[in-house]
Amino acid sequence: MDWGLKNRLSRIINPKTGKVVMLAVDHGYFLGPTSGLEDLKKTLDPLIPYADTLMLTRGALRTAVNPDFNIPIMLRMSGGNSIVADDLSNEGITVSMEDAIRLNVSGVALSVYVGSEYQHQTLLNLAKLIDEANRCGIVVLAVTAVGKEMTRDARYLSLACRIAAELGAHIVKTYYCDEFEKVVNTCPVPVVIAGGKKIEEKDALKLAHDAISRGATGVDMGRNIFQSDAPVPMIKAVRQIVHKKASVDEAFELYNSLKKKRKK
Ligand code: 5RP
């Protein structure tokens, strides 16, 4: 691995703990003005100091993030579809590597849809992006998007993660599932989990805890942070789990106490 790639990887995944709390706010690329992200800058400003890395689109980066903030960027590079389409898997590459470099990103992210109609196209998108990123020393995060027809179980997610890693992704983002250790143990690169739809705060903390204790390198969480009743206390509680090995109860206690103080 060359110096630039290693350096970028160490900006994304904290070398002291070997873990990452990535904040995902790229939802607008196919969902439009997602609840909690209508005014992206207002949502992001208080959260950025507690995120190790920020995952978002180029439009969001340019319009909502102060370039003085020294936060590593994971730029979403795939899209071309919307929630009103029948099949979300028909994605292409939407940003050039030249523009990603101009934006000084640490990593680039792209979704693959294993088992969906456009599986072939999205896997070739990933391979192409990896070739370009390798030339420039940029980290590639593959997102294993799951079509409606697929089951989020260890068998399917292991298949999708392993294929992404075999194609050369440096990090894979997937969903938590039963027997999650099977997914991690058969994937040769770090695995981070998405949070998924908003659930109760304690349940989201348990999800993060279960994933970390079964081998995840971190979380790439969005809605369960920015749609929380108290986003900053929530991201701080997630950090305790990811970086400090806090239990679910300890993290939930922290969330509640910070939330209470905030209201005073
Ligand atoms: C969509 C993504 C999103 O970034 C991710 O799923 C968002 O995280 P969360 O599920 O925690 O809101 O990659 O393909």
Does the annotation mark 182 as catalytic? Answer: no
Would you state the structure tokens that stand for residue 149, as one six-digit string? Answer: 């027809």
The first and second tokens of residue 74, run together, are 């994971």
Tell me the C-alpha to C-alpha distance, in Å, between residue 202 and each of 141, 153, 225, 226, 231.
Answer: 27, 22, 12, 15, 13
What is the SS3 assignment for 2?
coil
**pLDDT of amino acid 87:** 87
- 70: Cβ contacts below 8 Å, ≥ 6 apart: none
Q: How far apart are alpha carbons 226 and 27 in whole angstroms?
A: 11
Which tokens go with 235?
Answer: 């991201």
Q: Please state, in angstroms and rounded to a whole number, the distance separating the CA atoms of residues 93 and 149.
A: 23
Q: Which member of 19, 41, 173, 197 is catalytic?
A: 173
Q: State the Cα–Cα distance between residues 48 and 231, nearest whole angstrom.
A: 11
CB within 8 Å of 241: residues ≥ 6 apart:
205, 208, 209, 212, 248, 251
Ligand 1 probe mutation, 88, 220, 228, 242, most atoms within 8 A of CB: 220
- Walk me through the domains of the chain, giving residue ranges and CATH numbers: 3-197+217-223 (3.20.20.70)
CA-nearest residue, atom 14 of ligand 1? 145
* Token couple for 85: 């389409």
Ligand 1 center to 88 CA (angstroms) = 14
Q: What pLDDT does residue 263 have?
A: 61
Closest-CA residue to 163 (of 128, 123, 193, 133): 123
Centroid of ligand 1 to alpha carbon of 3 (angstroms): 29
- Indicate the helix (H) or strand (E) that contains 219: strand 218-221
Bridge partners of residue 21, in order along the sequence = 219
User: Which residue minimizes the CA distance to atom 1 of ligand 1?
Assistant: 27
143 lines ligand 1 (CB under 6 A): yes
Q: Is the CB of 208 under 6 A from ligand 1?
A: no
Which residues, listed in sequence order, are joined to residue 254 by a DSSP beta bridge?
none
Q: How far is the CA of 219 from the centre of ligand 1 (A)?
A: 10
The model scores a pTM over 0.75: yes
Per-residue pLDDT in tens (0 to 9) along the chain, 264 residues: 799 999 999 999 999 999 999 999 999 999 999 999 999 999 999 999 999 999 999 999 999 999 999 999 999 999 999 999 888 999 999 999 999 999 999 999 999 999 999 999 999 999 999 999 999 999 999 999 987 777 889 999 999 999 999 999 999 999 999 999 999 999 999 999 999 999 999 999 999 999 999 999 999 999 999 999 999 999 999 999 999 999 999 999 999 999 999 865
Q: Tell whether ligand 1 has an atom less than 6 A from the beta carbon of residue 28.
A: no
Ligand 1 neighbourhood includes 193 CB (under 6 angstroms):
no
Check pocket membership of 221 for ligand 1, CB cut-off 6 A: yes
Query: Ligand 1: which atom is nearest the Cα of residue 219?
Result: 11
Q: Which residues pair with 79 in a beta bridge?
A: 92
- Cα–Cα distance for residue pair 87/67, rounded to 1 Å: 35
Beta strand extents in 29-159 (DSSP E only): 53-56, 73-76, 78-79, 92-93, 107-112, 139-144
Is residue 64 within 8 Å of 14, Cβ to Cβ?
no
Compute how many other C-beta atoms are within 10 angstroms of the C-beta atom of residue 35: 11
Dist. CA 223 → ligand 1 center (Å): 8
Query: Tell me, what DSSP letter sits at residue 39?
Result: T
Give the single-character DSSP code of 192: E
CA-to-CA distance for 158 and 121, rounded, in angstroms? 20
Cα 256 to averaged position of ligand 1 atoms, centre (Å): 25
